C-alpha cells in the first residue's frame, strides 16, 4: 500500500533520486522549507543531523560567506524552544528546534506546551536512541511520544526510514495550517544514519486532518449569513470588536482594521491580540480582561453587540462568562477552530473559516448592499471612557515607578519595536503601557504564563527581524529562569535591549497575597537578593550594563540604553509595592474591577473576593 500522498513536485526537485542519509534528508527538507535558522543543543542521538547541517552549510555558502542555515546554540534546550517561538511569533514562519534524546527532548516540553497554548507554529526535531533500543531504558532515552503527545499539536516517531522525508514535510504542513501549533518529530539515530533515495516531495496521508481542514477552507460566508450579521449590526448602537490572537495568527489584521474603520467600530484586544489594532488609534481600547484597561472593560460592559474575532473567551477575559458583556443583545464569533464556538460563551451568530478571507467577504457584502452606520454617540462615549478612566499611577512618588520606565521606553520605541516579556507584573505593565502599531510586535507567554520566556524569545525575534529594535521587558524572578541566555545574545552579537524591573521578589504573587491572603508572603518575598544583575551581564559580555536607581536619571539613562549600538542591559530598581491595576479577580465580572488609587472607577467595587481554590 502506498503510504505517501502523490506530489507533483517529485520529478521537478533537482535532487530527486539522489542517494542521501536520513540526516541529509532532514536537512534538505529544512532547506526546501526555506528554514534559515535552527535553534538547538547537540548530543549523541542527534549528532548525525548536526553533522549534516554543518556539511550543508559548508557546501552552500551565501555570497557574503555566511551560512544559509544558521545553527544557534543556546544555554539550554528550553532556551532553544523559546527562541524558536520568538522567531515564529515575530515572523509568522515556522520556528525550528533541534535537540538530542532524553533530557534534550524533555527540556523542550515547556516551550512545546507554551506554543500549543498560544497557537505558535514550531517544529521540534528530537534525536532518539536506535530503534532496537527503544523501550530498554537505554542511555538518554525518554518516551518522547508519550510525553509530547499530551502537549503538542502532533507527534511523529519515525521507525520506517522510507517515511522520514514525507514525515518531515508533513510536520511543517501540520504546524502552520489550520490553527497553528507545535509538531514534534522523534528520529532514532539509526534512521538518521540510514541511506536511501531522496524523493523530492510527498507527504503522509493525514486524511482526517486534511478533510477537516478542507471543510474549514471551503466554508465561505454565504449571503444569508452576511445578511443576518448586518441585521444585528443595524440594530446595534454600541458595537464592539473583541479581537484575539487568532487575528494575528490568521494574518487577518488588515481586513479586520478595514472592517472596523468602515463602520467606526471600536476595538479591544486580548493580551495575545495586541497589535491587531493600532493602539494609538482613537477607537482602539487597547487590552481588555483581568488586567485590561478600565475603559476597555467598561466598554465591554456597555456594548450591545459584541463581535469576537479570533478570540476564545478565556478565563482571563471572561472570568464570569454569564456576566461577560451583560448588555450585549447579540454576540457574533469568527474563528478557525470549531471547538471554540460556544465552548465558554453562547453566541447568536458564528462562522468557522479562513478569517482573512471571511472578513474581506463580509466587508465586500456590506459595500455591495450599501450598508452605512452612524455611531457618533458611541464614539463620544468611548472618548469619555478613555479620558475619565485612563491609565495612571503615582507620578509624584520619589521611588521609580515601573510605569514611568515603560512610558519612557515607549516614547523612543514609537509603537514600532518588538517587545518581549517574562511573566508577572512587568508583563502586565508592558502590555498596558506600550503602544503597538502593527501585529507581531508583542511577544509574550499568554496562556501558559511561562516565566523565563522573555530573553530567549527576544533572541529568536532578533534573528527573525534583524532590522527591528527588540526589547525584553523582564522581572528579576523571570530573568533568573533563563539567565544563561544573556551569553547567547552577546555570543551572536545581537543588539537586543534587556530591561530588568527589579522589585526583589515575585511581584504578582505578592500582590495576590496582599489582596487575598492577608499579606502572608509565603515564598514570594525573595531571600534571593544577592544576585548582582549588572555584574552578571558584564561577565556575559555586555558592554552596556547599568543599574538605574534614581528617578531623576530615567530619561537620560533610557535614551543612552536604547541608542547603544549592540546588546544592552539595564536593571531598574523599582518601587517594590507598585501594583498592577486595573485588576479583575479570578471568576469575577468587570463590575467588580479594582482600579487602585490612581485610576478612576465608575462604580465602587464590591467586597466579593475569590476563594482559595480559584485560579491564580
Mean pLDDT, to the nearest integer, of 574-578? 93
pLDDT band at 9 (very low <50, low <70, confident <90, very high): very low
pLDDT at position 603 is 67
Q: Is 118 helix (H, G, I), strand (E, B) or coil?
A: helix
| CATH code for the domain defined by 220-388 | 3.40.50.1220
pLDDT at position 506 is 84
Whether the pLDDT of residue 605 is over 60: the answer is: no
Domain 8-216 and domain 402-573, same fold? Reply is yes
pLDDT band at 521 (very low <50, low <70, confident <90, very high): confident
Q: Of 54, 140, 254, 564, which residue is the catalytic one?
A: 140
Using H for helix, E for strand and C for coil, what is the string for 482-530?
CCCHHHHHHHCCCCCEEEEEECCCCHHHHHHHHHHCCCCCCCCCCCCCC
Q: Does the annotation count 508 as an active-site position? A: yes
- Assign a CATH topology to domain 8-216: Rossmann fold (3.40.50)
Q: Does the annotation count 301 as an active-site position? A: no
- Cα distance between residue 103 and residue 522, in whole Å: 31
Using H for helix, E for strand and C for coil, what is the string for 413-482?
HCCCCEEEECCCHHHHHHHHHCCCCCCCCEECCCCCCCCCCHHHHHHHHHHHCCCCCEEEEEEHHHHHHC
pLDDT at position 64 is 93
Q: Of 9, 132, 139, 214, which residue is the catalytic one?
A: 139
Measured in whole angstroms, the distance separating CA 115 from the mean position of its chain's CA atoms is 7
Whether the pLDDT of residue 172 is over 60: the answer is: yes
pLDDT band at 6 (very low <50, low <70, confident <90, very high): very low
- Name the average pLDDT for the chain: 94
Q: Of 153, 189, 497, 592, which residue is the catalytic one?
A: 189
- Cα distance between residue 277 and residue 244, in whole Å: 10
Q: Does the annotation count 139 as an active-site position? A: yes
- Assign a CATH topology to domain 402-573: Rossmann fold (3.40.50)
Residue 582: is the preceding peptide bond cis (ω within 30°)?
yes
- Cα distance between residue 558 and residue 556, in whole Å: 6
Residue bearing cell 544576585? 531
Q: Of 287, 428, 508, 593, which residue is the catalytic one?
A: 508
Q: Of 33, 69, 77, 544, which residue is the catalytic one?
A: 77
Q: Does the annotation count 189 as an active-site position? A: yes
pLDDT at position 611 is 56
Whether the pLDDT of residue 165 is over 90: the answer is: yes
Packing angle, helices 77-91 and 109-118, rounded to 10: 20
Whether the pLDDT of residue 200 is over 80: the answer is: yes
Q: Does the annotation count 128 as an active-site position? A: no
Mean pLDDT, to the nearest integer, of 141-149? 96
- What tens digit of pLDDT does each residue of 17-32 get? 999 999 999 999 999 9
Whether the pLDDT of residue 529 is over 80: the answer is: no
Q: Are 486 and 543 in contact (CB under 8 A)?
A: no
- What tens digit of pLDDT does each residue of 228-285 get? 999 999 999 999 999 999 999 999 999 999 999 999 999 999 999 999 999 999 999 9
CB atoms closer than 10 angstroms to residue 465: 17
- Cα distance between residue 427 and residue 475, in whole Å: 8
% of the chain surpassing 70 pLDDT: 95
**Alpha helix positions (H), 33-76:** 47-59
- Cα distance between residue 266 and residue 2, in whole Å: 53
Q: Report domain extents, the chain.
A: 8-216, 220-388, 402-573
CB-based contacts of 142: which residues, under 8 Å, 6+ apart?
A: 101, 102, 103, 105, 106
pLDDT at position 526 is 63
Whether the pLDDT of residue 560 is over 90: the answer is: yes
- What tens digit of pLDDT does each residue of 469-495 get? 999 999 999 999 999 999 999 999 999
Amino acid at each position: 500500500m502506498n503510504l505517501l500522498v502523490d506530489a507533483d513536485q517529485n520529478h521537478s526537485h533537482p535532487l530527486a533520486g539522489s542517494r542521501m542519509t536520513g540526516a541529509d534528508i532532514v536537512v534538505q527538507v529544512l532547506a526546501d522549507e526555506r528554514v534559515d535558522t535552527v535553534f538547538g543543543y547537540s548530543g549523541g542521538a542527534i549528532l548525525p543531523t548536526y553533522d549534516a547541517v554543518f556539511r550543508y552549510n559548508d557546501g552552500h555558502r551565501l555570497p557574503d560567506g555566511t551560512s544559509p542555515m544558521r545553527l544557534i546554540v543556546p544555554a539550554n534546550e528550553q532556551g532553544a524552544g523559546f527562541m524558536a517561538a520568538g522567531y515564529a511569533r515575530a515572523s509568522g514562519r515556522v520556528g525550528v528546534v533541534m535537540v538530542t534524546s532524553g533530557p534534550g527532548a524533555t527540556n523542550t516540553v515547556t516551550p512545546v506546551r507554551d506554543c500549543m497554548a498560544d497557537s505558535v507554529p514550531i517544529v521540534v526535531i528530537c534525536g532518539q536512541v536506535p530503534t532496537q533500543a527503544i523501550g530498554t531504558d537505554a542511555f538518554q532515552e525518554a518516551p518522547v511520544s508519550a510525553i509530547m503527545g499530551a502537549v503538542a499539536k502532533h507527534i511523529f516517531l519515525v521507525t520506517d526510514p522510507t517515511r522520514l522525508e514525507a514525515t518531515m514535510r508533513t510536520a511543517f504542513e501540520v504546524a502552520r495550517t489550520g490553527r497553528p501549533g507545535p509538531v514534534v518529530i522523534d528520529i532514532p539515530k539509526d534512521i538518521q544514519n540510514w541511506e536511501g533515495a531522496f524523493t523530492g516531495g510527498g507527504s503522509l496521508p493525514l486524511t482526517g486532518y486534511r478533510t477537516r481542514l478542507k471543510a474549514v477552507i471551503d466554508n465561505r460566508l454565504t449571503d444569508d449569513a452576511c445578511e443576518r450579521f448586518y441585521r444585528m449590526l443595524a440594530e446595534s448602537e454600541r458595537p464592539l470588536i473583541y479581537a484575539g490572537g487568532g487575528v494575528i495568527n490568521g494574518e487577518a489584521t488588515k481586513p479586520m482594521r478595514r472592517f472596523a474603520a468602515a463602520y467606526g467600530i471600536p476595538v479591544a484586544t486580548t493580551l495575545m491580540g495586541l497589535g491587531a489594532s493600532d493602539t494609538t488609534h482613537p477607537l482602539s481600547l487597547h487590552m481588555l480582561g483581568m488586567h485590561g484597561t478600565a475603559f476597555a472593560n467598561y466598554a465591554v460592559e456597555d456594548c450591545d453587540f459584541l463581535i469576537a474575532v479570533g478570540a476564545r473567551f478565556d478565563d482571563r477575559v471572561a472570568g464570569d462568562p454569564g456576566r461577560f458583556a451583560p448588555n450585549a443583545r447579540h454576540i457574533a464569533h469568527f474563528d478557525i477552530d470549531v471547538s471554540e464556538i460556544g465552548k465558554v460563551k453562547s453566541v447568536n451568530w458564528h462562522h468557522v473559516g479562513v478569517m482573512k478571507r471571511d472578513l474581506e467577504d463580509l466587508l465586500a457584502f456590506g459595500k455591495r448592499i450599501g450598508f452605512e452606520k452612524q455611531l457618533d454617540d458611541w464614539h463620544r462615549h468611548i472618548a469619555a471612557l478613555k479620558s475619565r478612566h485612563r491609565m495612571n499611577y503615582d507620578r509624584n512618588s520619589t521611588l521609580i515607578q515601573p510605569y514611568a520606565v515603560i512610558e519612557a521606553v515607549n516614547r523612543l520605541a514609537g509603537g514600532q519595536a518588538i517587545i518581549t516579556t517574562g511573566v508577572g507584573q512587568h508583563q502586565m505593565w508592558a502590555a498596558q503601557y506600550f503602544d503597538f502599531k502593527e501585529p507581531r510586535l508583542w511577544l509574550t507567554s499568554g496562556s501558559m504564563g511561562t516565566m523565563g520566556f522573555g530573553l530567549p524569545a527576544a533572541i529568536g525575534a532578533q534573528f527573525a527581524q534583524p532590522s527591528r529594535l527588540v526589547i525584553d521587558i523582564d522581572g528579576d524572578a523571570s530573568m533568573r529562569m533563563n539567565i544563561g541566555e544573556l551569553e547567547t545574545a552577546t555570543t551572536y552579537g545581537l543588539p537586543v535591549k534587556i530591561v530588568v524591573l527589579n522589585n526583589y521578589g515575585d511581584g504578582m504573587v505578592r500582590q495576590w497575597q496582599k489582596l487575598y491572603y492577608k499579606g502572608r508572603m509565603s515564598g514570594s518575598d525573595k531571600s534571593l537578593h544577592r544576585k548582582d544583575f549588572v555584574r552578571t551581564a558584564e561577565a556575559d559580555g555586555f558592554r552596556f550594563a547599568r543599574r538605574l536607581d534614581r528617578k531623576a536619571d530615567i530619561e537620560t539613562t533610557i535614551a543612552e540604553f536604547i541608542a547603544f549600538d549592540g546588546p544592552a542591559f539595564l536593571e531598574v530598581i523599582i518601587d517594590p509595592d507598585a501594583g498592577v491595576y486595573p485588576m479583575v479577580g479570578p471568576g469575577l465580572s468587570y463590575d467588580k474591577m479594582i482600579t487602585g488609587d490612581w485610576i478612576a472607577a465608575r462604580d465602587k467595587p464590591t467586597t466579593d473576593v475569590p476563594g482559595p481554590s480559584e485560579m491564580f
